[in-house]
């Protein structure tokens, strides 16, 4: 849905973007969690490796859904967005993997509970802010960020 100039950075628009991003994250986290649990319980894979593999599976759909729907960033070239997304996702995968290990091995929680806690923390503290302000942000031709969620300039 194209953004109108007068509502591009409104609280209502930001809430909508956050809500769509959160729904995207719930869906892709389900893929991630299903991969983690299936690999550990059915294939006997170590939970740390399975955590990392789950983040890769979840992220494959996350970029496309966020680009097309949550952040409505179709008007910008996907290559730059995808490059930035890979950087953000690499860090997110490390945060997930390290966090699940921490809560499971050092705190003593089951790996599934650790994954749920870390998923919320990483989404709120890393993924959403980085997707909004870095991956899908609009940039001028001079490489300067423009108003967040502003509509694309008309030619």
Q: Please report the pLDDT score of residue 154 as a whole number.
A: 47
The answer to whether residue 2 sits within a structural domain is no
Domain residue limits at 18: 8-135
Give exposure, 93-119, as e/b (b: 16+ Cβ within 10 Å): bebbbebbbebbeeeebebbebbbbbb
| pLDDT, tens only, 95-124 | 999 999 999 999 999 999 999 999 999 999
The answer to whether residue 102 sits within a structural domain is yes
Measured CA to CA in angstroms, residue 133 lies from 26, 114, 129, 136, 148 at distances of 20, 27, 6, 7, 7
Please compute the mean of the pLDDT values over residues 12-33 and round it to a whole number. Answer: 93
| pLDDT, tens only, 125-139 | 999 999 999 999 877
- CB distance 112 to 37 below 8 Å: yes
Give me the phi and psi of 139, to 5 degrees please.
Answer: -125, 140
The answer to whether residue 31 sits within a structural domain is yes
Number of domains in the chain: 1
């Amino acid at each position: 849905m194209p953004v109108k100039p007068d509502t591009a950075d409104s609280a209502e628009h930001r809430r909508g973007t956050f809500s769509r991003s959160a729904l995207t994250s719930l869906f892709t986290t389900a893929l991630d969690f299903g991969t983690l649990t299936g690999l550990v319980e059915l294939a006997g894979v170590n939970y740390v490796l399975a955590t990392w593999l789950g983040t890769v599976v979840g992220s494959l759909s996350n970029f496309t859904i966020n680009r097309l729907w949550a952040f409505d960033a179709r008007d910008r070239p996907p290559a730059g967005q995808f490059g930035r997304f890979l950087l953000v996702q690499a860090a997110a995968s490390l945060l997930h993997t390290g966090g699940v290990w921490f809560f499971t091995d050092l705190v003593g929680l089951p790996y599934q509970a650790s994954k749920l806690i870390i998923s919320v923390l990483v989404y709120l503290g890393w993924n959403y802010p980085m997707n909004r302000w870095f991956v899908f942000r609009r940039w001028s031709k001079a490489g300067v960020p423009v108003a967040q969620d502003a509509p694309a300039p008309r030619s």
